[in-house]
Structure 1
Amino acid sequence: MKILIISGTPWDNSNSFGNTFSNLFAGMKNVEIYNISCQNGLSNNNITFKEVQMSDKSVLKSILNPLYDPCWEVEKSNKEIDVNQALSVAAIKKRWTIFFIIRDLIWGIGRWKRSKVLKKLIFEHKPDIIYLPIYASPRMCNIQQYIIKKLGVPVVGHISDDVYNIPPNLSFLGKRYRIHLQKKLKKLINSCEYLEVFAQNMADEYSKKFDIPCFLIGKGVTQEKIASIPPLKKSTNKPLKIIYTGNISQDRYSILHLLGTTIDAHFKGKAVIDIYTQSILPEIMLCELESIDSIELKGAVSGEEVLKIQQSADFLLHAEGFSDKSIFETKMSFSTKIIDYMLSGVPILAVGPSEVNSIAVLQNFDLAAVISNPEDTKNILNDLLNGNVDFNKKRENIIDYLKTYRDLDTIQNGIYNRLSDTLNKQ
């Protein structure tokens, strides 16, 4: 079975897309995976058979030079890849609608459709089916819709976050842009045989909204990894160590600030929060966090170092914001980092609203100590720091949850069988 995956980022195991899709497809038998990436970057995986990339810069260059082919085939050994994505970076960091509109226009008039490299991948290798990660991006919808039309093969959709609903508090231009996006997404989703999603609430909502079958999947783990989850260890840290690793948004800053000030006020000397992040914080946030005695800012570390640091923790912190904007962004997603936390054997402290899928899962299956209401922070921290939370029971629950819902063979077999059944019906 030849499967084509059209992605917004390169297939690199160190990024979110690459990590997730390598987990879903690694070791799957009787498949050849082809990838078209609409951003340039290092190919770092052992999954793909052939990869083609194009980028904002190359598509813009094709407008200026009609003879220039904006696509290229990626060699696995190519370590020297130009990653100059000025427009992409500006659009992502600023979140200004005008940047996205300009980007869409460049791709709309660029000559990527004429690319010989792209045509070779599509027409010479002739994929049997398209497995489509779906993005909140008119540009990606246009590219994917074009390739779907050219290939004329069955399409399966993959959605990891809510891409369709309109976020709160958008500007007039932002709302118009999202309405424009909704029309494209509806057309794209209607071309799919079914959807695979990462959250049950998304499966429920999207199946009704688009009248399409939705199947729940997620990052899988092997039975060997589940069996090797370490037993709960007795802490030797004084004070107890709560570790947060990840990005810090405005909402996550608020949670870290809440926890730190609560510890300072009521549990001083009992716990410290170590924060490891690559985020560049505004000066006012930085000063506020540095003024809290129970918080230590550690800066950025590598992925390998993160794993070692997490093993030194008494509690690993997962945080989701309480604002309307944050709830909208995370309510239908599930952070794959939580699975890594479960496998570490270190107790989990989660803070966030129950409407958010990841918090709901941790709460409903009793996998973590959860603060779902900021007013409960003091009481839950008191139980946590005084040993009144039964983490041995939560460890048993984690093992049961992983065996039941995250078995890698079960997830991969489901993906493969659904793809095969779809092809057999044609």
Structure 2
Amino acid sequence: MEKKALPKVLVVSTNAWRDNTGINTLIEFFKCWNPDRIAQIYTKSTLPKTTVCNRFFSISENAVMRSVINRRITTGREVQNETVNSTISNPSAEVEQKIYSFYKGKVRELLSICREIVWKLGKWKTAELDHFIDEFDADVLFIPIYPTIYMGRIQKYIITRTQKPVVSYLADDNYTYKSVHKDPISLIHRHILRKYVKYIVEHSKKLMVIAPKQKEEYDRIFGVDSVVMTKGIDFEQFEPYQVGNPIKLVYTGKLIIGRWKSLAAIAETFQKINRNGVRITLDIYTTDSLTDEQNKLLNRNGCSVKGALTLEQVKIVQKEADTLVFVESLEEKFKNTARLSFSTKITDYLRSGKCIFAIGDKDIAPIDYFSRYDSAITATTYEEIQDKLTELVNVPDMVLEYAKKAYACGVEHHERGRMDSVLIHTIEQATLK
């Protein structure tokens, strides 16, 4: 379909759209759109840098923070795409980044509470925001649903003001109590958040979700027929490869929310597998700083931490691997944190044409997905990690077998043309009376 024929879409999201970053799901969604017929409102000071969209309105979190004291501060403004001038100075964004860095590794709940208070007391509902909304005059609103109350409040305001049809998008479990800690603050936060999630879904012409398991649960909760939508992938021809000896596993990503313990369990398993010679290895690439305990448990038995990589280096390292590792936590405290999420890492892995070894509780969406489509070797307990890796080294033909299965699954469910059609049809249907 001609891009010029598509409806005008206003996206209300958290981060500025910047190509070639890890936060790119929505950018990938709207690559099929005419950039003149899409606009973004977001809640950071960072400037956009993308070819997908031409109009942007920034509500600066730093300015909202300062507006609690000084109400005369301008908190929202239309901004230009940084593609035009990549040397633009942005002190406000630098201040925000310092704040996020300060809280990194500390109690996350503290940052969450402070942020909600700031957005509740600060000034964001402004004449500048209203003018941008009215002047763009979208045909439809695209509303990603976040685990933050302030975003729900902003989105509800824009939905109410415009009275435009809404397509909402849930990429995580932002409604049930299953994925939150059972402390009073988390439960109160979730109780308030649920009201905004419910409002958005009930005012949506269509709800989009990210995984089959999430569709089943949220269809049942809200009585809807949601659409499964992930970022589209451009697939190249599958290339069979010679499995190495030793078999080379690679993990690229964060070690947070208990993931490092799943990787440490792999290293523990290697002690037995590699006792008479190295038959399998694991290279871990992460931007996270390691504690002494993590260093000790992750650097042993053929497992080693290599440090951080650029996006281009990640592609090279993954291409050289035999098997790509996907991990979530098996610890009781964290195993439900990503219960209904679906990491962009999964679609990237499927595109790679490599075997996937996935660890996680059987009740989370990624493991459900891999099991449902038999597209990865999965381990849902610590005991299974040893069993599955032992089988893998004893039957190395499994590597290429599951590489083919992963690739075929990706093509069937995530090919870009298919995903583009799903998005276009859903948004066009939403505009119909």
Q: Same fold (TM over 0.5)?
A: yes
The residue type paired with residue 120 of structure 2 is G
Aligned counterparts of 1:382 and 1:155: Cα–Cα separation in 2: 50
Shift of 1:96: 4.4
Partner of 1:46: 51
Shift of 1:87: 4.8
Partner of 2:77: 72
Matched ranges for 1:24-423 at <5 A: 24-28=29-33, 32-77=37-82, 78-79=85-86, 80-82=89-91, 83=93, 84-85=95-96, 86-88=98-100, 93-116=105-128, 118-166=129-177, 167-222=179-234, 225-226=235-236, 228-231=237-240, 233-235=241-243, 237-268=244-275, 269-290=278-299, 292-423=300-431
> Secondary structure of the equivalent of 1:327?
coil
Q: Is the 8 Å Cα contact of residues 146 and 152 (structure 2) preserved in structure 1?
A: yes
> Secondary structure of the equivalent of 2:201?
helix
Structure 1 residues 314, 65: closer, same or farther in 2, change over 3 A?
Answer: same
Shift of 1:31: 6.8
Aligned counterparts of 2:146 and 2:133: Cα–Cα separation in 1: 21
TM-score, scaled relative to structure 1:
0.91
Structure 1 residues 153, 97: closer, same or farther in 2, change over 3 A?
Answer: same
Shift of 1:297: 1.3
Structure 1 residues 199, 298: closer, same or farther in 2, change over 3 A?
Answer: same
> Secondary structure of the equivalent of 2:190?
helix
Structure 1 residues 399, 263: closer, same or farther in 2, change over 3 A?
Answer: closer
**Structure 1, residues 80-117: CA drift from partner, whole Å, max 9, x if none?**
3332225555567534444433322222232221242x
The residue type paired with residue 374 of structure 1 is Y
The residue type paired with residue 49 of structure 1 is N
**Structure 1, residues 91-144: CA drift from partner, whole Å, max 9, x if none?**
67534444433322222232221242x223111111111000001111101111
Aligned counterparts of 2:104 and 2:137: Cα–Cα separation in 1: 33
Aligned counterparts of 2:108 and 2:301: Cα–Cα separation in 1: 36
Q: Is the 8 Å Cα contact of residues 253 and 285 (structure 2) preserved in structure 1?
A: yes
> Secondary structure of the equivalent of 2:254?
coil
Aligned counterparts of 1:164 and 1:39: Cα–Cα separation in 2: 24
Q: Is the 8 Å Cα contact of residues 28 and 412 (structure 1) preserved in structure 2?
A: no
Bigger mean CA deviation after superposition, 389-398 or 66-75: 389-398
Identity %: 24
The residue type paired with residue 379 of structure 2 is I
Aligned counterparts of 2:103 and 2:214: Cα–Cα separation in 1: 26
Which structure 1 segments of 5+ residues have no match? none
Shift of 1:293: 3.0
Q: Is the 8 Å Cα contact of residues 375 and 406 (structure 2) preserved in structure 1?
A: yes
Which structure 2 segments of 5+ residues have no match? 1-6
The residue type paired with residue 262 of structure 1 is T
Bigger mean CA deviation after superposition, 84-93 or 252-261: 84-93
Q: Is the 8 Å Cα contact of residues 35 and 53 (structure 2) preserved in structure 1?
A: no
Partner of 1:5: 11
Structure 1 residues 301, 58: closer, same or farther in 2, change over 3 A?
Answer: same
Aligned counterparts of 1:99 and 1:399: Cα–Cα separation in 2: 40
Q: Is the 8 Å Cα contact of residues 91 and 100 (structure 1) preserved in structure 2?
A: no
Shift of 1:65: 3.2
Structure 1 residues 97, 347: closer, same or farther in 2, change over 3 A?
Answer: closer
Q: Is the 8 Å Cα contact of residues 35 and 51 (structure 2) preserved in structure 1?
A: no
The residue type paired with residue 256 of structure 1 is L
Aligned counterparts of 1:44 and 1:93: Cα–Cα separation in 2: 28
Shift of 1:283: 2.5
Shift of 1:346: 2.3
Structure 1 residues 144, 133: closer, same or farther in 2, change over 3 A?
Answer: same
Aligned counterparts of 1:56 and 1:31: Cα–Cα separation in 2: 26
Structure 1 residues 10, 326: closer, same or farther in 2, change over 3 A?
Answer: same
Aligned counterparts of 2:194 and 2:183: Cα–Cα separation in 1: 16
Aligned counterparts of 2:173 and 2:400: Cα–Cα separation in 1: 34
Structure 1 residues 324, 110: closer, same or farther in 2, change over 3 A?
Answer: same
Aligned counterparts of 1:351 and 1:206: Cα–Cα separation in 2: 24
